[in-house]
Structure 1
Amino acid sequence: MEKKEFLDDKTRFLIRNILKGFLYLAILIVIFLLIKSYFSEQERMEWFGDIYDNVLLVMSVFVASEILFGIIPPEVFMLWSLKTGLIGSYFTSIGLLSIISYLAGFTNFTIGIFAKDKSKILNGSNKIIRKYKILFQKYGTHLVIVACVSPLPFSAISLLAGAGGMDKKKYLWYSLLRIVRFFVYAYVLYKIEA
């Protein structure tokens, strides 16, 4: 008689990667605390130079990063929001950033729907796309959830979800976890800074 496993492969994948997301957050906190203790606020502001006060430039870089598979971790922009009141209160800024990220993911999901059979990128030999395509074929919705709450490239996985035929309503509901992630990470950073 075969022994029934307590958790199926998809659930183990989900739990394992959510825990990796918490590990990533812990590492981010340690780095943030080290920077905070070894560098003055003035020194930290100098790193950004004139970019720091240019809201249009910072937001443009964020939008481009989110559409182009999260080249810059969103936590960088959360830290920027923590130190500037240029686009409203901290949590208003986080709300705006999270909605932009959500919409960037949906944009890529929609592109994936239309590009699934036509795109050389989706069907080519790019190692990163191929890796996530295999993971999406194996884990489907679970991979989208993991991408929402962890450092995995959310927009790239959204593109693959669209190309892979994931139901649009399911995608839109599950990807709301992206907004939750932004607020959880932002809250933690806010409490550390306070």
Structure 2
Amino acid sequence: MDTIKKSETNKFKRTHLYYKYTGFYTFVGQSIKKAIIPIVLIIVALIVLDFYVIDFSNLFTYITETYAPINILLVFLASESLLGLVPPEIFIAWSDKMPEPILYLTILASLSYIGGIISYFIGKWVFTIPRVYDYMEGKMKKHLKQIRKWGGFLIVVGALLPIPYSMTSMAAGMIHYKFRNYLLFGLLRFVRFYLYAIAIFSLL
């Protein structure tokens, strides 16, 4: 029993040292720092704009009444599948004005998860076309290098933090990261949506 515990402890230490020496912890720390500033700025901007320029509650109510939910959800899915073109926070704020906010928030989280899967397979498809692969590899060199080093942990970071999840997913597909593990780590995307909703719903 002691031998098993000792083996597990040594394995944990080796893993810890690997991520330490390869810069994973530094990367996560920098990502959090980079994420905090924009989030704070967005929150402050929303508060200021809401008080002095535009009533966001009325704005999202107008959007809800003007555009069919299916259209907005399709735009969101397209965004989450193609490099995260529109910040998810905008759609989270929109869901708060729907008749059943939690239901729509869950739908958004599910679509984000599905969008990541689509990006994963886009990455796998890109791998089969040499010219496209060379181009994408140049564009995503940093992401590919990171996911080769850190694998699932980078997917966890991408799912939770304001790092383009679509790019992380595409990179995972390009290096043929194990799909089952990708699906498992990607479930943390739901956690991010619910946590962000707690903050955003309270503002609007």
**TM-score (normalizing by structure 1):** 0.81
Structure possessing the higher radius of gyration over alpha carbons = 2
Counterpart position of 1:41: 55
Residue 95 of structure 1 and its aligned partner are, at CA, apart by 0.6
Number of aligned residue pairs: 187
Identity fraction in percent: 25
- Is 2:150 aligned against 1:136? no
Counterpart position of 2:14: none
Residues 119 and 155 of structure 1: CA distance in aligned 2, closer, same or farther (over 3 Å): farther
Confirm or deny: 8 A CA contact 2:64 2:94 kept in the other structure.
no
Structure-to-structure mapping, 1:48-63, within 5 angstroms: 52-63=66-77
* Richer in helix (by share): 2
Counterpart Cα distance in 1 of 2:131 and 2:61:
39
Instruction: From 70, 84, 95, give the equivalent of 2:84.
Output: 70
Residue 103 of structure 1 and its aligned partner are, at CA, apart by 0.9
Residue 94 of structure 1 and its aligned partner are, at CA, apart by 0.8
Counterpart position of 2:8: none
Residue 90 of structure 1 and its aligned partner are, at CA, apart by 1.1
By relative contact order (CA 8 Å, sep 6+), the higher-ranking structure is 1
Counterpart position of 1:15: 29
Confirm or deny: 8 A CA contact 2:159 2:186 kept in the other structure.
yes
Residue 5 of structure 1 and its aligned partner are, at CA, apart by 10
Confirm or deny: 8 A CA contact 1:21 1:149 kept in the other structure.
no
For 2:167, give the aligned amino acid: A
Structure 1 gaps, min length 5: none
Counterpart Cα distance in 2 of 1:151 and 1:74:
9
**TM-score (normalizing by structure 2):** 0.77
Residue 140 of structure 1 and its aligned partner are, at CA, apart by 3.1
RMSD, matched Cα: 2.9
Instruction: From 98, 110, 133, give the equivalent of 2:109.
Output: 98
Counterpart Cα distance in 2 of 1:171 and 1:69:
17
